[in-house]
């Protein structure tokens, strides 16, 4: 969230798919722009769900974002005027994104990162756990469980409409893959 304090820090927004992480990131970045702060948003190059140059939420709201292959590329797009850096889908970056977020915050930049804290197995996802450990502020969002309607903190992976197996490959040729938000009780992993 936008806080009018004049030093760098790290905010992390986590939760399962559909919990509103992108929406919340976009909201915070738009508020920073209203406060006339210089904002640059980034996302991993692989995530071209809806658009290559925007962070877009499942509900359709968006903000301009630079697609980057590596977190180091952030340095190519910021300068001494940059006050806020947004990062979406932070789980897809290498572990070095944590050091880079720390470095930016140390330099006085507000870093707002959003991403999945767990993969579809319910296990910590990439650099996100480390990032939230070093962040000043963390918000864990809940989606709505698609089975029972309770708050959902996990992401269910479905292959051809059935719960994925623990060891199913990340890419399954010829299969229809989908994801939905589920609560602890309704989340299924077949071992």
**Catalytic residue numbers, as ranges:** 89
145 near Zn ion, judged by CB under 5 A: yes
Looking at 8-16, 19-27, 76-84, 177-185, which segment touches Zn ion (CB under 5 A)? 177-185
Residue 184 neighbours by CB under 8 Å, 6+ apart: 153, 154
C-alpha of 40 from chain center = 15
- Asked whether position 147 contacts ligand ADP by CB under 6 A, the answer is no
Q: How far is the CB of 16 from Zn ion (least distance, A)?
A: 12
The two three-digit tokens of residue 119, written as one number:
């993969």
Distance between CA atoms of residues 33 and 47, nearest Å: 24
Q: Which of 31, 58, 72, 130 binds ligand ADP (CB under 6 A)?
A: 58
Nearer to ligand ADP, 45 or 103 (CB): 45
Pairwise CA distance, residues 68 & 62, whole Å? 17
**Which residues contribute to the site for ligand ADP (CB under 6 A)?**
15, 17-23, 57-59, 143-144, 146, 181
């Amino acid at each position: 969230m936008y806080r009018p304090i004049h030093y760098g820090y790290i905010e992390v927004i986590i939760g399962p798919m559909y919990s509103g992480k992108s929406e919340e990131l976009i909201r915070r970045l738009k508020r920073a722009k209203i406060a006339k702060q210089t904002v640059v948003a980034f996302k991993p190059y692989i995530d071209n769900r809806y658009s290559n140059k925007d962070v877009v939420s499942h509900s359709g709201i968006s903000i301009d974002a630079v697609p980057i292959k590596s977190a180091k590329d952030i340095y190519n797009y910021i300068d001494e005027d940059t006050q806020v850096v947004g990062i979406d889908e932070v789980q897809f970056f290498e572990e070095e994104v944590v050091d880079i977020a720390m470095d930016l915050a140390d330099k006085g930049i507000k870093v707002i990162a959003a991403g999945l804290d767990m993969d579809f197995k319910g296990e910590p996802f990439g650099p996100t756990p480390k990032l939230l450990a070093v962040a000043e502020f963390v918000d864990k969002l809940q989606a709505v469980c698609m089975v029972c309607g309770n708050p959902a903190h996990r992401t269910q992976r479905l292959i051809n409409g059935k719960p994925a197996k623990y060891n199913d490959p990340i890419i399954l040729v010829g299969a229809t893959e989908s994801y939905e938000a589920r609560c602890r009780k309704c989340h299924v992993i077949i071992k």
